[in-house]
């Protein structure tokens, strides 16, 4: 193998598994260390800069970082990264001194943001410190998009949402609420310098089965129903409720129904439990609230009598693995159909993009799934002035993706307004490495490995929580538990850096490494090397760190897979050929690279 | 010294041996030696050899004298018995331990100072007596623990860290061991586990006195340019005469193994008491690892050329050990009852009568 180029920012970035997996590339270990030091305000700001909604995300994030966490590979349960974000938000002090300065003189450019969800809000936050004039339009009476209209208050309390939404609105956004956008042409006629479309994926899917028209009054589309609950138009639901669908919307619908007075609530899913789209923890919460989830039951017919819904007929299928593709296929089991009584159905079987108000003759092209055709780096549409982000860009995702898109779109809008090239002039990623050595055996980070198991987040008393939709279910870690959980982080951003000319090939690092990461061996191609290491390196997703050739003709090969970042290799190296250096990965964002 | 404790977690795919243990179960405390000391690699090699042989990690007697090398039994086989004797007196303690309990595997670790200076008398006699043990000398040519004086194995002309030359001829413990009756004699290098681990395995299973001289650089006091015991010097001059490959009991040659292209007459296997074998491959066809005089001559000639001969130099799998020579009782003394240990006045009278 060729020697690893550790100056390529993506090499060490990948080693920080959580940061690499995070769409916004939040420097996770940075803020976890700040929490361990009880510096909650700074921990909050590290988050705010990168993901914009720490308090909201600390409760609701889809957390792609957690399955990626190295701790999953070293001892099964990831660091509770998401809940630690909430610790920072819950315990922070006054953040005003840390807020970006807002120029009193505007730069003369006007930007229109369509929709007031997380994507548009994050674009506003990035643009305002550079002097842009920002106009925001949304048909809802308040900002936040689906964070407000969809995520129920028992998962995201209103005050947490409002604090972070208002923080941005108060930076000087000209907000136009209760403003239904009906024509993109009209918007373009208003002659803004650039447009950002953040209108989400607002249409819930429906099912056209026998009886659908007749029972219309007893069926609600899940996201519309959650929206009407959120805005106070719906206060109750009665009788037996069936929620159809297996995603997070289904989980929010069933848990909301339970709180609004349903006699019974059942979730019915066409596919198997394991492959349901809902996150594991959402499923767990629903089951914990004793809501039955019935799987492998595709609906066949709505049964009604005189226009009144009586129940639903479901078929019975089983999942079989397709031998050729390995995918799951569903086959009828041969059992008779099942009939389930119900009075109300909440349909939560997916969402789609839907912008009927964007005329199709204005040079803005859509693909066959009704998604706009975009450049994946710049988020620019085929109409040069119009940029997209969030759910409206590539279909429904989540809040953290909305923030990530927003940062890129904001950079593009800025470059566009300066007349620069959206790709050629894009700021590059960067890397800083700083040695953590303080003395012969002193490191400026807590190198010691903490074997503690993941700590469990305390929950509100169930009887209270189920009786009131506004009672938050999860209570979050207090400072003490937060500090202990923070200690589980392995500091993956404190990198093992190898300097060939110093190595005397004494093997001390090989002998001490608790995880058998290091090998000195003759070079070979990657597959060959992976098989010949001290411990076989079977996880091909994790890189091998390969040195230049050493005096004995061998190379140093380090498998990054299960390194604990414990620093023992550097402690035991007589020549400092290994050093523990903190990597700071610079992910370009407006403001940090203000032009 | 290292202050970060070595975490107990280990690689998820770390293999289990026949006893259901992994290599980490054979470790000891974290070393307090200088970072980069060759002795730590020797300890790691012992850990690896014992784990791969599936030897029970609590059935060892670890003995040593004084010196950095003699500290190392603390750093392997934590679950075993150990005795840290006074300087140069490990052989006495090893003799006692092995005679008292022949069921324990006995490992002695000593240094060149401990064995070739103050303890040379004891060393000579434990070799003669063929105590059933593995005797390792971590040979760094210096008194590491007392900060770098020349030891008796230091080569004439080699210099101290400050440049002063050594004026005296070296003692070669390998030659001594060959001369006075060791039945397994090898030399190796701490920086070459591929060579060292199979040698340790063979020596651990060998019945009789097995001696391995391991050149093990002292990074703090004897790893400079004028040294003949530095990493660079040994790497440049080491020449292995006979490489040993350890073949476990259930070893069946795989296709890849049988294809290995050894020149005719250069490989042979030696049976070990537990049914496993050592496969020896000779670099020089004329070398005979069963001929003491030949081995001794080869070592001396190479020494004169400034070469460091390594590998398995001599082995006699059928040689007698101390228990055979002395016709000792099969059962460890701690398992004998009072009646057998103190047979009483009648027995004594009979012995006395036989001497009249
Ligand atoms: C039930 C449910 C639960 C969810 N839970 C989570 C969760 O726990 N965690 C998570 O990360 N994500 C969750 N999501 C997804 C998340 O809410 C979205 O991915 C995210 O809000 C998308 O942000 P956005 O800015 O792209 O659009 P949105 O948040 O959808 O905002 C779009 C805004 O545009 C406005 N708009 C649309 N069309 C027009 C128009 N024609 N005129 C005027 N205004 C218009 C809308 O009123 C809305 O305010 C959930 C989604 C649903 C449906
Ligand atoms: C009776 C006695 N004499 C002298 C000493 C001082 N002393 C301690 S260690 C040592 C030499 C150790 O050298 P070696 O066996 O080569 O071990 P190394 O530290 O080099 O591994 C000496 C002379 C002592 N401890 N006891
Ligand atoms: S251990 Fe810490 S730094 Fe490493 S992946 Fe997990 S959270 Fe991130
Ligand atoms: S930091 Fe060094 S010693 Fe610790 S696990 Fe990683 S490679 Fe091994
Ligand atoms: S401990 Fe240092 S000098 Fe020794 S092999 Fe490892 S990197 Fe090289
Ligand atoms: Mg010594």
The answer to whether domain A105-202+353-417 and domain A205-350 are alike in fold is: yes
Count of helices and strands (H, E) across chain A: 22, 25
How many whole angstroms from B113 Cα to the centroid of ligand 2? 6
Neighbours of A467 (CB within 10 A): 12
Please identify, by atom number, the ligand 2 atom nearest to the C-alpha of residue B66. 9
Mean pLDDT of B58-62: 98
Ligand 3 contact, A81 CB (< 6 A): yes
| Binding site membership of A69 for ligand 3 (Cβ less than 6 Å) | yes
**Average pLDDT, stretch B30-39?**
95
Q: Ligand 5: which residue has its CA nearest to atom 8? A: A503
Per-residue pLDDT band at B175 (split at 50, 70, 90): very high
Q: Which residue among B2, B31, B43 sits closest to A441, beta carbon to beta carbon?
A: B2
Tell me the average pLDDT across A558-581. Answer: 96
Confidence of residue B132 (pLDDT cuts 50, 70, 90): very high
**Record: contact A564-B43, CB cut-off 8 A:** no
- What ranges do the domains of chain A cover? 105-202+353-417, 205-350
The closest of A506, A502, A557 to B235, measured between CA atoms, is A506
Whether residues B4 and A74 touch (CB distance < 8 A) is answered with no
Nearest CA, atom 6, ligand 3: A69
* Fold of the domain spanning A205-350: FAD/NAD(P)-binding domain (3.50.50)
Best interface-test mutation with A: which of B35, B75, B189 has the largest number of A CBs within 10 A? B35
* DSSP state, residue B8: S
More confident residue, B4 or A383: A383
The residue-averaged pLDDT of A339-349 equals 95
Give yes or no for a contact between A56 and A145, defined as CB atoms under 8 angstroms apart.
Answer: no
For residues A380 and A420, is the Cβ–Cβ distance under 8 A?
no
Query: Which one is predicted more confidently, A551 or B245?
Result: A551
Residue B263 pLDDT: 52
* Ion ligand 6: residues, Cβ under 5 Å: B 111-113, 140, 144
- Please name the residue whose Cα sits nearest to atom 3 of ligand 3: A492
For residue B250, pLDDT beyond 70: no
Q: pLDDT tens, A483-527? A: 999 999 999 999 999 999 999 999 999 999 999 999 999 999 999
DSSP character at residue B151: -
B256 pLDDT exceeds 70? no
**Fold adopted by A105-202+353-417:** FAD/NAD(P)-binding domain (3.50.50)
Ligand 1, residue A253: give the atom nearest the CA.
1
| B10 → closest Cβ in A448, A514, A568 | A514
Q: How far is B17 from chain A (nearest CA, A)?
A: 15
- A131-157 residues labelled b (16+ CB within 10 A) or e (exposed): ebbbbbbbebebbbbbbbbbbbbbbbb
> How many Å lie between the centroid of ligand 2 and the Cα of residue B72?
14
Q: List, chain by chain if needed, residues with CB within 6 Å of any ligand 1 atom.
A: A 60-62, 115-120, 137-140, 145-147, 150-151, 180-181, 198-200, 202, 223, 226, 248-249, 252, 357, 390-392, 396-400, 402
pLDDT at residue B257 above 90? no
Q: Identify which of A449, A511, A573 has the shortest CB distance to residue B41.
A: A511
Cβ <8 Å between A451 and B2 = no
For helices A81-91 and A28-36, give the axis angle rounded to 10 degrees.
Answer: 50
Token pair belonging to A501: 């000319």
Two tokens, residue B25: 């179960």
Mean pLDDT, residues A322-341 taken together: 89
Minimum CA distance residue for ligand 4 atom 1:
A565
What pLDDT score does A42 carry? 97
Which residue of chain B has the CA closest to A519? B193
Q: Which residue has the least CA distance to atom 1 on ligand 5? A: A573
Of the candidates A73, A510, A516, which has its C-beta nearest B14's C-beta?
A: A516
Closest by alpha carbon to B107, among B217, B201, B244, B245? B201
The reported pLDDT for the residue numbered A368 is 86
Band the pLDDT of B239: cuts 50, 70, 90. confident
pLDDT at A329: 86
Look at residue B72 and tell me whether its pLDDT is greater than 80. yes
Mean pLDDT taken over chain A: 95
- Dihedral of CA atoms B119, B124, B125, B127 in degrees, nearest 10, equals 120
DSSP code string of B175-187: HHHHHTT-SEEEE
Nearest CA residue ID for atom 18, ligand 1: A398
Residue A66 scores a pLDDT above 80: yes
Nearest chain B residue (CA) to A490? B7
A397 C-alpha to center of ligand 3: Å? Answer: 24
| Residue A374 vs residues A117, A185, A200, A235: alpha-carbon distances, Å | 19, 19, 15, 40
Query: Which residue, among B1, B13, B28, B41, would best test binding to A if mutated, counting the most A CBs under 10 Å from its CB?
Result: B13
Three-state DSSP class for A353?
Answer: coil
Please indicate whether, in this complex, the C-beta atoms of A506 and B1 are within 8 angstroms of each other.
no
Q: Is the pLDDT of residue A421 over 50?
A: yes
Check residue B308 and give its pLDDT: 85
**pLDDT confidence bin for A595, thresholds 50/70/90:** very low
The per-residue pLDDT for range A211-269, each reduced to its tens digit, is 898 888 899 999 999 999 999 999 999 999 999 999 999 999 999 999 999 999 999 99
For residues A462 and B19, the answer to whether their CB atoms sit within 8 Å is: no
Of the candidates B214, B269, B265, the one whose C-alpha atom is nearest the C-alpha of residue B246 is B269
Q: In the prediction, which pLDDT does B262 show? A: 46
Lowest-confidence pick of A194-208, A346-360, B280-294: B280-294
The pLDDT score that the predictor gives to residue B303 is: 86
CA distance A122 to A403: 6
Contact residues on chain B for A507, CB-CB shorter than 8 A: 41, 44, 190-191, 193
Q: Which atom of ligand 3 is nearest to the CA of A490?
A: 1
pLDDT digit string (tens) for B78-117?
999 999 999 999 999 999 999 999 999 999 999 999 999 9
What CA dihedral angle connects A559, A561, A562 and A564, to 10 degrees? 80
Cβ contacts of B37 on chain A, cutoff 8 Å: 508, 574
* Dihedral sign computed on CA atoms, order A243, A244, A246, A247: negative
Nearest to A515 among B10, B43, B190 (CB): B10
Per-residue pLDDT reduced to its tens digit, B152-168? 999 999 999 999 999 99
Q: Is the ipTM of this complex over 0.95?
A: no
Q: What is the mean pLDDT of residues A457-471?
A: 93
Res A325: pLDDT: 83
Residues of A in contact with B3 (CB under 8 A): 441, 571
CB contact under 8 A, B223 and A515: no
pLDDT value of residue A306 = 84
pLDDT at residue number B254: 43
Is residue B89 within 6 Å of ligand 2 at its C-beta?
A: no
Looking at the predicted structure, is the pLDDT value of residue A435 above 50?
yes
Burial A227-237 (b: 16+ CB within 10 A, else e): bebbeeebeeb
Q: For residue B24, give the chain A residue with the closest CA.
A: A514
Which residue out of A496, A509, A511, A580 has the highest number of ligand 4 atoms within 8 Å of its CB and is therefore the one to mutate? A496
Region of residue A567 (left: phi > 0; alpha: psi -120 to 50; beta: else): left
Pocket test for ligand 3, best of A77, A80, A486, A489 (most atoms within 8 A of CB): A489
Do the Cβ atoms of B132 and B164 come closer than 8 Å? no
> What's domain B23-326's superfamily in CATH?
Thiamin diphosphate (ThDP)-binding fold, Pyr/PP domains (3.40.50.970)
**B23 to chain A nearest CA, in Å?**
11
Alpha carbons B301 and B286: distance in angstroms, whole number:
15
Residue among A19, A29, A85 to mutate when testing ligand 3 (max atoms within 8 A of CB): A29
Confidence tier at B287 by pLDDT (50, 70, 90): confident
Percentage above 90 pLDDT, chain A = 90
Confidence of residue B281 (pLDDT cuts 50, 70, 90): confident
pLDDT digits (tens, 9 = 90+) for A401-417: 999 999 999 999 999 99
Instruction: State the pLDDT confidence band at B236, using cuts at 50, 70 and 90.
Output: confident
Ligand 5, closest atom to CA A498? Answer: 7
> What's the rounded Cα separation, in Å, for the pair A242 and B143?
82
Chain B hits for A566, Cβ within 8 Å:
4, 7
Chain A CB contacts of B75 under 8 Å are: none
Q: At residue B259, does pLDDT exceed 60?
A: no
Q: Which of B36, B42, B231 to mutate to test the interface with A (most CBs of A within 10 A)?
A: B36
Query: Of B42, B114, B213, which is best to mutate to test ligand 2, by the most ligand atoms within 8 angstroms of its C-beta?
Result: B114
In whole angstroms, how far apart are CA B349 and each of B329, B336, B339, B340, B353?
A: 21, 22, 16, 16, 6
């Amino acid at each position: 193998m060729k020697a690893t180029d550790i100056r390529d920012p993506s090499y060490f970035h990948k080693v920080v598994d959580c940061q690499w997996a995070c769409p916004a590339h939040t420097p996770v270990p940075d803020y976890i260390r700040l929490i361990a030091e009880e510096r909650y305000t700074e921990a909050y700001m590290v988050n705010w800069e990168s993901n914009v909604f720490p308090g909201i995300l600390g409760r609701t994030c889809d957390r792609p970082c957690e399955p990626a966490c190295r701790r999953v590979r070293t001892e099964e349960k990831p660091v509770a990264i998401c809940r630690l974000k909430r610790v920072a938000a819950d315990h922070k002090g006054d953040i005003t001194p840390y807020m970006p300065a807002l120029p009193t003189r505007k730069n003369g450019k006007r930007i229109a943001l369509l929709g007031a969800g997380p994507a548009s809000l994050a674009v506003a936050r990035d643009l305002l410190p550079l002097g842009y004039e920002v106009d925001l339009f949304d048909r809802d009476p308040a900002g936040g998009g689906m964070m407000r209209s969809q995520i129920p208050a028992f998962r995201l309390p209103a005050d947490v949402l409002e604090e972070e939404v208002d923080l941005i609105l108060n930076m000087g956004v000209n907000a136009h609420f209760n403003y239904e956008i009906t024509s993109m042409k009209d918007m373009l006629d208003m002659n803004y310098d650039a447009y950002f479309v953040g209108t989400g994926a607002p249409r819930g899917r429906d099912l056209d089965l026998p009886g659908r028209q007749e029972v219309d009054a007893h069926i609600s589309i899940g996201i519309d129903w959650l929206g009407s609950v959120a805005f106070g138009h719906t206060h109750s639901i009665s009788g037996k409720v069936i929620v159809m669908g297996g995603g997070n919307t289904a989980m929010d619908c069933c848990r909301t129904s339970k709180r609004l007075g349903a006699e019974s609530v059942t979730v019915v899913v066409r596919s198997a439990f394991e492959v349901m789209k809902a996150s594991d923890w959402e499923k767990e919460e629903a089951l914990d609230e004793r809501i039955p989830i019935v799987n492998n039951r595709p609906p066949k017919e709505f049964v009604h009598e005189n226009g009144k819904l009586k129940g639903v007929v479901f078929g019975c299928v089983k999942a079989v693995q397709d031998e050729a593709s390995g995918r799951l296929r569903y086959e009828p089991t041969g059992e008779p159909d099942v009939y389930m009584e119900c009075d109300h159905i909440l349909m939560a079987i997916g969402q789609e993009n839907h912008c009927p108000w964007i005329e199709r003759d204005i040079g803005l092209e859509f693909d066959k799934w009704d998604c706009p055709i975009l450049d994946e780096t710049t988020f620019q549409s085929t109409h040069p002035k119009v940029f997209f982000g969030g759910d409206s860009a590539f279909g429904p995702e989540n809040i953290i993706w909305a923030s990530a898109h927003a940062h890129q779109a904001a950079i593009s809008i800025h470059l566009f307004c300066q007349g620069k090239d959206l790709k050629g002039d894009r700021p590059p990623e960067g890397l800083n490495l700083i040695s953590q050595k303080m003395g012969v055996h002193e490191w400026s980070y807590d190198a010691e490995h903490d074997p503690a198991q993941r700590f469990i987040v305390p929950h509100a008393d169930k009887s209270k929580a189920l009786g009131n939709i506004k009672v938050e279910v999860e209570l979050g870690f207090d400072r003490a538990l937060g500090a202990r959980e923070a200690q589980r982080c392995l500091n993956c951003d404190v990198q093992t850096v190898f300097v060939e000319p110093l190595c005397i090939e004494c093997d001390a690092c090989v002998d001490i490494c608790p995880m058998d990461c290091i090998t000195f061996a003759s070079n070979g191609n990657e597959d060959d090397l992976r098989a010949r290491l001290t411990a076989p390196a079977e996880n091909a997703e994790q890189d091998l760190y390969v040195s230049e050739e050493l005096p004995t003709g061998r190379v140093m090969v380090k498998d990054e897979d299960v390194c604990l970042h414990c620093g023992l290799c550097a402690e035991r190296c007589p020549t400092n050929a290994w050093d523990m250096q903190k990597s700071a990965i610079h992910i370009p964002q407006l403001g940090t690279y203000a032009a | 010294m290292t202050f970060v404790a070595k975490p107990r977690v280990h690689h998820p795919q770390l293999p289990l041996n026949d006893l259901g243990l992994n290599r980490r179960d054979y470790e000891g405390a974290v070393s307090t030696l200088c970072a980069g000391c060759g002795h730590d690699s020797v300890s790691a090699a012992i850990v690896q050899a014992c784990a791969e042989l599936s030897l029970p990690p609590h059935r060892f007697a670890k003995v040593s004298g004084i010196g950095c090398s003699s500290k190392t039994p603390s750093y392997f086989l934590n679950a075993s018995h150990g005795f840290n004797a006074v300087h140069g007196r490990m052989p006495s303690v090893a003799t006692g331990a092995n005679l008292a309990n022949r069921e324990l595997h006995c490992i002695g670790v000593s240094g060149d100072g401990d064995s070739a200076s103050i303890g040379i008398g004891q060393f000579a006699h434990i070799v003669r007596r063929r105590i059933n043990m593995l005797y390792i000398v971590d040979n760094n040519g210096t008194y590491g623990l007392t900060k770098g004086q020349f030891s008796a194995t230091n080569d004439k002309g080699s210099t101290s860290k400050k440049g002063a030359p050594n004026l005296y001829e070296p003692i070669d413990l390998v030659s001594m061991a060959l001369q006075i009756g060791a039945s397994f004699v090898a030399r190796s290098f701490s920086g070459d586990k591929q060579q060292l681990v199979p040698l340790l395995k063979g020596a651990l299973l060998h019945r009789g006195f097995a001696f391995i001289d391991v050149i093990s650089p002292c990074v703090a006091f004897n790893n400079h340019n004028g040294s003949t015991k530095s990493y660079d010097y040994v790497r440049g001059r080491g020449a292995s005469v006979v490489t040993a490959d350890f073949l476990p009991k259930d070893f069946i040659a795989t296709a890849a193994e049988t294809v290995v292209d050894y020149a005719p007459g250069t490989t042979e296997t030696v049976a070990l008491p537990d049914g496993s074998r050592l496969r020896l491959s000779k670099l020089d066809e004329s070398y005979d690892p069963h001929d003491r005089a030949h081995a001794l001559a080869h070592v001396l000639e190479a020494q004169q050329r400034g070469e460091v001969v390594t590998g398995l130099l001599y082995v006699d799998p059928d040689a007698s050990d101390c228990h055979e020579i002395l016709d000792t009782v099969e059962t460890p003394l701690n398992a004998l009852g009072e009646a057998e240990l103190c047979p009483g006045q009648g027995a004594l009278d009979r012995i006395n009568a036989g001497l009249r």
